[in-house]
């Protein structure tokens, strides 16, 4: 071809949508299967007569988010999904060849965002259970490091940072390095030791220094994956700097209206109820599978480890058998989870009837001789 792209561009994998077999429930995407919250459709419809106009109710949306987090509106920036803000952050602070340190395995989009802006991703292996290795992450910071980017909880393992780990990262990350905490799944966390920079429902957020940026999305708990909207929380000077690299009015007015409604008191109450249901359902799935594996062990049959996740998904670290388990679940349970070759299977919590089939399918596969 005659068009030449940058060398780093060749390292970005072309996105390919997963193929969904007929009659199979999709549990391979981290998305909500619950319908929009009450009042959301009306809030969006009210903006349709104004689609010929630039702008929207951005100021009101920012004020609502700020109130929910106990902050001011100049500490919030909207994006077309949290990855939009992450890309903006990397493009704003990284020169070509600067380093972004992150764990691996984690969300693949971080690596693509680095390559898109000519930054160099530096991957640090997670602990055996998929948790962040804080010692190794801090040791990986060099003079070229500009960002330490972490999913909290991590994905696909669902392992969160503890209070001790988070406090240490905040204290020991150099001031010149941005500590970026992607808290997309934080509202689903039930582990008492899990700690977050800006929790939405539980309170107890940390007093964050200027070099800490918290990224959040409305694609998970709020169920707005189809609208692609997220936000960052940071010091006003950081938000102002990020705004220079964002397209003006870059989040469409329908998404802005959805944000305003979701962060109203009525909207947050509904979202919290849904988040609690998903977290409880995840725990039910894990608890039931753990009980069945214990029974299999007593009976002398094969079993697999059932680990705890703090995301909206179940993580089964079955290693080289990941693709075999996925195929079995498609055939036997009519659900499609995501297989990470050589590592494990991630199953997004969806409707209860599908979750029941998932439990039965995993149990059959794991305990058969």
Local confidence band at 43 (pLDDT 50, 70, 90 cut-offs):
very high
Query: The tokens of 224 are what?
Result: 């707005």
Q: Are residues 219 and 302 in the same domain?
A: no
Is 35 contained in some domain?
no
By residue range, what is the domain housing residue 89?
40-266
Q: Give residue-wise pLDDT tens across range 135-150.
A: 999 999 999 999 999 9
Does the pLDDT value for residue 205 go beyond 70?
A: no
Is the separation of the CB atoms in 224 and 34 below 8 Å? no
Q: Are residues 215 and 113 in the same domain?
A: yes
- Please give the torsion angle defined by the CA atoms of residues 323, 326, 331 and 335, in that order, rounded to the nearest 10 degrees: -160
Does the pLDDT value for residue 202 go beyond 60?
A: yes
Q: What integer is the mean pLDDT of 33-48?
A: 96
Interatomic CA distance for residues 11 and 300, integer angstroms: 47
- pTM (two decimals): 0.96
Residue with tokens 């909290």: 152
Does the pLDDT value for residue 295 go beyond 60?
A: yes
Is 107 contained in some domain?
yes
Q: Are residues 262 and 277 in the same domain?
A: no
Q: Are residues 235 and 277 in the same domain?
A: no
Is the separation of the CB atoms in 128 and 281 below 8 Å? no
Local confidence band at 248 (pLDDT 50, 70, 90 cut-offs):
confident
Q: Are residues 227 and 95 in the same domain?
A: yes
Which of left, alpha, beta for 223 (phi over 0: left; psi -120 to 50: alpha)?
Answer: left
Sequence-separated (6 or more) residues with CB below 8 Å from residue 171: none
Q: Are residues 185 and 44 in the same domain?
A: yes
Q: Are residues 147 and 242 in the same domain?
A: yes
Percentage with pLDDT > 70 across the chain: 98
Q: Are residues 311 and 251 in the same domain?
A: no
Interatomic CA distance for residues 350 and 285, integer angstroms: 11
Is 154 contained in some domain?
yes
CATH code, 200? 3.40.640.10
Q: Are residues 84 and 16 in the same domain?
A: no
- Return the SS3 of 1: coil
Query: What's the domain count of the chain?
Result: 2
Phi, psi of 98, rounded to the nearest 5 degrees = -65, 155
């Amino acid at each position: 071809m005659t068009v030449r792209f940058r060398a780093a561009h060749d390292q970005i994998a072309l996105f390919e949508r997963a193929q969904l077999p007929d009659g199979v429930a999709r549990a391979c995407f981290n998305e909500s299967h619950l319908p929009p919250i009450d009042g959301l459709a009306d809030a969006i419809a009210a903006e349709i007569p104004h689609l010929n106009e630039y702008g929207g109710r951005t100021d009101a949306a920012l004020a609502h988010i700020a109130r929910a987090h106990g902050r001011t509106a100049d500490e919030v920036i909207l994006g077309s999904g949290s990855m939009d803000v992450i890309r903006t952050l990397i493009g704003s602070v990284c020169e070509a060849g600067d380093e972004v340190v992150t764990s691996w395995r984690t969300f693949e989009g971080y690596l693509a965002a680095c390559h898109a802006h000519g930054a160099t991703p530096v991957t640090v292996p997670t602990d055996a259970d998929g948790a962040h290795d804080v010692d190794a992450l801090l040791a990986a910071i060099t003079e070229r490091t500009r960002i330490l980017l972490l999913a909290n909880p991590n994905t696909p393992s669902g392992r969160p940072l503890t209070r001790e780990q988070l406090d240490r990262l905040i204290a020991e990350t150099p001031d010149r390095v941005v500590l970026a905490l992607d808290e997309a799944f934080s509202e689903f966390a039930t582990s008492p030791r899990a700690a977050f920079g800006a929790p939405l429902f539980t309170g107890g957020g940390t007093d964050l220094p200027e070099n800490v940026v918290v990224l959040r999305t409305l694609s998970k708990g709020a169920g707005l994956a189809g609208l692609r909207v997220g936000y960052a929380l940071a010091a006003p000077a950081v938000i102002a700097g990020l705004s220079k690299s964002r397209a003006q009015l870059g989040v469409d007015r329908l998404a802005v209206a959805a944000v305003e409604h979701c962060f109203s008191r009525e909207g947050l109450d509904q979202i919290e109820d849904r988040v609690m249901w998903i977290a409880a359902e995840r725990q039910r799935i894990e608890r039931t599978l753990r009980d069945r594996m214990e029974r299999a062990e007593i009976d002398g049959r094969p079993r697999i480890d059932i680990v705890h996740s703090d995301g909206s998904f179940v993580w089964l670290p079955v290693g080289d058998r990941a693709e075999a388990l996925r195929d079995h679940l498609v055939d036997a349970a009519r659900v499609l989870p995501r297989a990470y070759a050589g590592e494990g299977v991630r199953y997004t919590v969806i409707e209860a009837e599908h979750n029941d089939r998932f439990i039965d399918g995993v149990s059959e596969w794991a305990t058969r001789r």
